[in-house]
A and B are shown apart, each in its own frame.
Chain A
Amino acid sequence: MATSLTPPGQGAAPSGGLKPAGTLYRGREGMWSWVMHRISGVLIFFFLFVHVLDTATVRISPEVYDAVIAQYKNPVMGLGELGLVGAVVFHALNGIRIMLVDFWSKGTVHHRKMFWGVVGLWFALMIPFAVRHLMHVFGE
């Protein structure tokens, strides 16, 4: 079946003929930003599901909610939250890059530079967050 990943002329033809050959996965910043965008997006999607359900326990009782949220405060979960926030920040910054590629006339010309801009901004946001969050998780 031809999908959006199948380059023209390389999808398996329904009635024989062309065989799948070649690939659209061309490497470098363009492909890897796309791969990371997908993986971070799926991760955030599943967390959102869990997060809505854990928040829904506020309707049971204060004790139940506090017990559920306490699970998020142990060190292992704390590291997981750091990874999750890292995924959210990357997805947000790379999403802005995608919009610039789509809507800005120079977007496709500068898409590689913008990817490294995303990486740089990611570190600029994540270092202060990591310090503060790990302080809260491991402190006291």
Chain B
Amino acid sequence: MSAPEQTPGGAYAPALEAPRAPYRRSRATRTNWELYGWLFQRMSGLLLVVLVFGHLFVNLMMGEGISQITWAFVAGKWASPFWQVWDLMMLWLAQLHGTNGVRTIINDYAERDSTRFWLKMALYTATVVVLVVGTLVIFTFDPCADPNSTLEVCLAGSENVPSVTN
């Protein structure tokens, strides 16, 4: 954004336009990018309240709380598409919500152009890494990787192996 012009009313106050001067709607920017970012922050926040509270309740309140969190517990959850979709939505919405929030904070406090640029590059790099790694983990996870698994899907799988003798 270009530096605001100095007017008698202050740095941001617009100068009075001449009567009947044509109204130029989009002067500073061509898109509504910041409006969509503002709206996304609120819509994703609303969904995240449900997703994160559900996540915390099931993992930390129900059952044995944090003591129950083991590889087998994760396998039990991710054997079901319900929790895969739940966690995938939570990952993407939380990371994008967080990135947009930190972007705002960088814009507020980092005053030099180059500082802002490099902080945001670091932020976007971290965002891409988290989203790619997180998505790959959810989709490539094998709940039956533990040979001693007692999960129903893993047991059912071994019983239903097609037999050539039939």
Contact = CB atoms under 8 A, between A and B. Distances in A.
Interface of A: 1-6, 8-11, 13-15, 17-18, 38, 41-42, 44-45, 48-49, 52-53, 55-56, 58-59, 61-63, 65-66, 69, 72-73, 78, 81, 85, 88, 92, 95-96, 98-99, 102-103, 129, 132-133, 135-137, 140
B79 interface: no
Interface of B: 3-4, 6, 9-13, 42, 45-46, 48-49, 52-53, 56, 60-61, 64-67, 69-72, 74-75, 91, 94-95, 98, 101-102, 104-105, 107-109, 111, 126, 130, 133-134, 137, 140-141, 145-146
Contacts of B111: 1, 3
Given A62-B70, A69-B70, 18 more contacts: A2-B12, A3-B107, A5-B108, A9-B13, A10-B10, A11-B12, A18-B6, A52-B134, A55-B74, A72-B69, A73-B66, A95-B42, A99-B46, A132-B60, A133-B65, A135-B65, A136-B60, A136-B64
B70 A66 contact: yes
Contact of B66 (A49, A52, A56, A78): A78
B130 A52 contact: yes
B108 A4 contact: yes
A13 B11 contact: yes
B133 A52 contact: yes
Contacts of B74: 55, 58, 65
Contact of B137 (A14, A42, A59): A59
Contacts of A103: 42
Contacts of A6: 11
24 contacts: A1-B111, A3-B111, A38-B105, A41-B101, A42-B101, A42-B105, A45-B101, A45-B102, A48-B95, A55-B74, A55-B137, A56-B133, A58-B74, A61-B145, A62-B70, A72-B69, A85-B56, A92-B48, A99-B42, A102-B42, A133-B65, A136-B60, A136-B67, A137-B66
A28 B69 CA distance: 41
Given A55-B137, A58-B71, A66-B71, A9 B10 contact: yes
Contacts of B4: 2, 11
A8 B9 contact: yes
Nearest to B55: A88
Given A52-B134, A73-B66, A133-B60, A17 B98 contact: no
